[in-house]
Structure 1
Amino acid sequence: MNNRDFIAKRAAAYFKPGDVVNLGIGIPSLCGSYAVSGVLFQSENGFIGIGPKAEGLMVNERYANAGGVNFVPVPGSSAFDVAASFCVIRSGRLAATVLGGLQVSADGDLANWATPGRAFGMGGAMDLCNGAKNVIVAMELVAKDGSPKIVKECTLPLTAVRCVNHIVTDRCVIDVTGEGLVLSEIRKGHTVEEIQAAVEPQLIISPELKEMEED
C-alpha cells in the first residue's frame, strides 16, 4: 500500500456508522474508500451522502463535491444550498473532518492553505476546524525537502488555532492533548528516535504505544 492510501486508511479508522464526516482534498479524499459502512460524507457545496467517484456513464455533472470531483450519491443522500451546508458545519453536527496540512504546531494550530508566493484561499477549512467535533490532519510527516511539518509554532498563515485532535502520517499517529503531543502509534520499520528527530516539539511517548496496522 502506498503512503497516501496508508494514511487515508488509518484516518478513516476514526469513523463509525452514523457519523457525518467532511473530507478535504488530497489525501483526505481517499478516506471514503476505507470507511466502514454507514458513514455519511458531507461536502461544503451542499451534499450529505457522497458515494464513490463517478466514472463513465455514471458521471452526472449535478453531483460534484467541493473539489469538483463527480460522485455517485448513496441511498438516502440529500442535496441543499451552500448556506444550509455551512449551518451543518458551524452547528457542530459533523463528527469529524479530515484535512491536509502544511504545518501543525505543538498547540494544535493548523496551517494548510498558503505558502510563500502561493495562496489559494482558505475556503471552508476555517469553519470545518471550528465546527467539527474531531479534526484529523492527514499528511506526510515531513515536507518534500525533509523539513518538519510538525513544528513548535506555525510560520505559515494559520487556518485555525488549537483545533487539531489527531495527526495521522505515513510513519506515526500523534495525538494533540493538553499536556502536549503524544506519540500513540508508530509504523513498523520506524523508531521513536527517528520520529522525534523529524519533528520540532518534544513528544510524549504513550505508555500504550502500538504499531500501526499495515493491511
Structure 2
Amino acid sequence: MALDKIGIAKRIAQELKDRYFVNLGIGIPTLVANYIPQGIDVEFQSENGVLGMGSFPFEGEEDADIINAGKQTITTLAGASFFDSALSFGMIRGQHVDLTILGAMEVAENGDIANWKIPGKMVKGMGGAMDLVASAENIIVAMMHVNKAGDSKILKQCTLPLTGVGCVKKVVTELAVLEVTPKGFKLLERAPGVTVEHIIASTEAELIIEGEIPEMQI
C-alpha cells in the first residue's frame, strides 16, 4: 500500500548521515526530525535562525517563541543556537548545509523543482527555497506522487513556475524512491505492496527500471 506522510519522512530519515547539517523545508520534511536513525548525530538548521532543532513538541509542551521557518513550534536539543536570518542564509549560501530536504508541487526528470507558487492561488511566498536550491549540492524532495485529482506530479517537464533548475538528486513519494540521473528518473525502491506497474501508471515521466525493484524498508 502507499505510504502516508510519516512513512515518507521515515524513509528519508534513512538518508541522514552522522555529523550532517540538514535543512528541513516546510511540510513533510519537518517530520524527518522525529525519525533520526539511532547511533548518528545530526544538526537540523532552519533558515529563520535555528541550529539544533529537535522533534515536534508534545501537545501542551509547545513554546510559541521557538518555531521553524514554517512558524511551527519545535523543540531544541542541548547546545542549540539562535541567530539572525542573515547568518542563517550565510550558512546556506556558503554551502555549509550537507543535505536539504524540501517539499514540492512538481519535479521534472532533469531535476527541476517547482514548490513555491500556483498561479492564481494565494501563497505565503518564496521563503528561503530559492537560496536553498541554488546553494545546496544534495537535495532530496519529499512529496506526494500524484495530486488530489490523481494526476502525476513526477513530470517530464514542470508546468508551474520553477524554484530551481536541475538541482534535485532524489525524490521520495508515497509510492517510490526515485533518483534523478542524466537520463531521467531511475526507480530505486517501491513502497510496500505497491507494484512497479502502479508506479509507472502514476508517473507522467519515463522511468528507468533495472532488474527487480526492492520494497522500501521503513
TM category, shorter: over 0.9
Report the TM-score, using the length of structure 2 for normalisation: 0.92
Q: Which residue of 2 aligns with 1:115?
A: 118
Distance 1:2 1:204, change over 3 A: closer
> Is 1:136 aligned to 2:137, yes or no?
no
Percent identical among aligned pairs is: 46
Aligned match for 1:103, one of 83, 103, 106? 106
Asked if the contact 1:58–1:72 (Cα under 8 Å) also holds between the matched residues in 2, the reply is no
Report the TM-score, using the length of structure 1 for normalisation: 0.93
Q: Give 3-state SS (helix, strand or coil) of 1:173's partner.
A: strand
**Aligned counterparts, 1:123-202, within 5 A:** 123-202=127-206
Q: How many residues align?
A: 214
The Cα shift of 1:132 comes to 2.0
Q: Which residue of 2 aligns with 1:11?
A: 12
The Cα shift of 1:146 comes to 0.3
- Alignment root-mean-square deviation, CA: 1.7
Asked if the contact 1:102–1:149 (Cα under 8 Å) also holds between the matched residues in 2, the reply is yes
CA–CA distance in 1 between the matches of 2:130 and 2:99? 14
Asked if the contact 1:54–1:72 (Cα under 8 Å) also holds between the matched residues in 2, the reply is yes
Distance 1:208 1:193, change over 3 A: closer
Moved over 3 A (4+): 54-62
Greater relative contact order (Cα < 8 A, sep 6+): 2
**Aligned counterparts, 1:55-74, within 5 A:** 55=58, 58-74=61-77
CA–CA distance in 2 between the matches of 1:56 and 1:213? 29
Aligned match for 2:57, one of 54, 57, 61? 54
> Is 1:209 aligned to 2:213, yes or no?
yes
Q: Deviation string for 1:104-154 (max 9, x for gaps)?
A: 011110001111311331110111112223111111110110011011111
Q: Which runs of 5+ in 1 are unaligned?
A: none
Q: Which runs of 5+ in 2 are unaligned?
A: none
Q: Give 3-state SS (helix, strand or coil) of 1:98's partner.
A: strand
